[in-house]
Structure 1
């Protein structure tokens, strides 16, 4: 996966794009590749009132713009699987969403059902109340159980950072790492606030290169993307992906 690192206050104007071999390529904003930017975006539709027409549009836009994936609720996974069959766009299905308050057994069944219906990746909301109650062993075991149940499919752990203290965020990241998760996602988009640079930096300091970081919630512009990637995010969850590409301009 490509990692974009932005430097300085004028992050929108200059960045370094690192390839898989670690080589650095400086570019100005006018030379930013739209296709590369699109590959960092998971096109998102998680509203409870989302319609079939909107889901079809989501998938169509993901294909036409070359987004990394789509992020949807479980009920729409089969339709997305049908529309995106034989394409590289991944389906990221969110479970126990947005509260995380389901039992571990229900989360496991929801994850298995999503994979059966065509999901490529699972994003699970942690049991926020259990974490805040100090039941860290339960939270870690729940994550590990879901990771095991998915049989190798990537599992993102959604923290809902707006609900957590600094210490709780660190603990959740450490537990996710030990439990075998593939990534940390900051927010559901339904909390008091979404992705913040300071949270991305804290997560990055905690997990290093061992887990990917998905910044999600409140990301609406290319400048927002630049700030999140500069802070350490690997990719972005947003419903504004098309507008973000338009911000960048035509190649």
Structure 2
């Protein structure tokens, strides 16, 4: 998957193509084991890249013969956990079979100008997610100024993150925007990738985020989103 894609290329994606960008997500606190089992089955059927769940749902049984990845959240949703706790949570998730960890930074530390502390927080979790584990850093972009978005992205890259991610989907300020995704991609360049998450609900939303530079999408309503592809776009898809 390339790090950037033109508008024309994004618009040429069918439902199956967009599905490969999706982390099929279920993070509500009331989620049951049965619901996660159903999430896995739906993700396989849709052709999603991964599922994204809470770490307490691990370990999981992923059907053999599939390439479905498992992502979990860390320090979620507030980010106000001690770095030691975040690092331990991330390391345990990897030990229990997670392929990727989506951590939340301390938004208050960032807004208070404590950029070194934010970088150290990310670095602590990075140490618990050694390669080939993937670390995504949730910066809660809707709650930040443009300058703060840039600072968060720079700290993430300096700490060795693989992705910067817009949102938890739980913050009252909102979720992903095309502007934020584009700014994040401009900031990280080829040093990291961008995940758009929070409010990506329609097929057009997905295409716009991909065109802006996202190479991963956090989506809870994946089936509904993919069903919004036009007949021409969805030819040959599920």
**Fold in common (TM above 0.5):** yes
1:38 aligns with 2:24: no
Give me the TM-score of the superposition, normalised by structure 2. Answer: 0.91
Specify the alignment match of 2:208 in structure 1.
227
1:212 aligns with 2:205: no
Contact 2:18 2:206 in 1 (8 A): no
2:105 to 126, 139, 164: 126
1:195 aligns with 2:195: no
Instruction: List structure 1 segments (4+ residues) > 6 angstroms apart after TM superposition.
Output: none
Q: CA RMSD in A?
A: 1.7
**C-alpha distance after superposition, 1:77-121 (max 9, x if no partner):** 213xx1345531111110000000000000011001111111001
1:185 aligns with 2:178: no
Q: Which runs of 5+ in 1 are unaligned?
A: 8-14, 18-25
1:16 aligns with 2:22: no
Q: Deviation of residue 233 (structure 1)?
A: 0.9
Instruction: Tell me how many residue pairs correspond in the alignment.
Output: 230
Contact 1:4 1:16 in 2 (8 A): no
Specify the alignment match of 1:5 in structure 2.
5
Q: Deviation of residue 54 (structure 1)?
A: 1.6
Contact 1:140 1:176 in 2 (8 A): yes
CA distance in 2, matches of 1:75, 1:35: 30
CA distance in 2, matches of 1:199, 1:222: 19
Specify the alignment match of 1:22 in structure 2.
none
SS state at 1:83 partner? coil
CA distance in 2, matches of 1:86, 1:195: 33
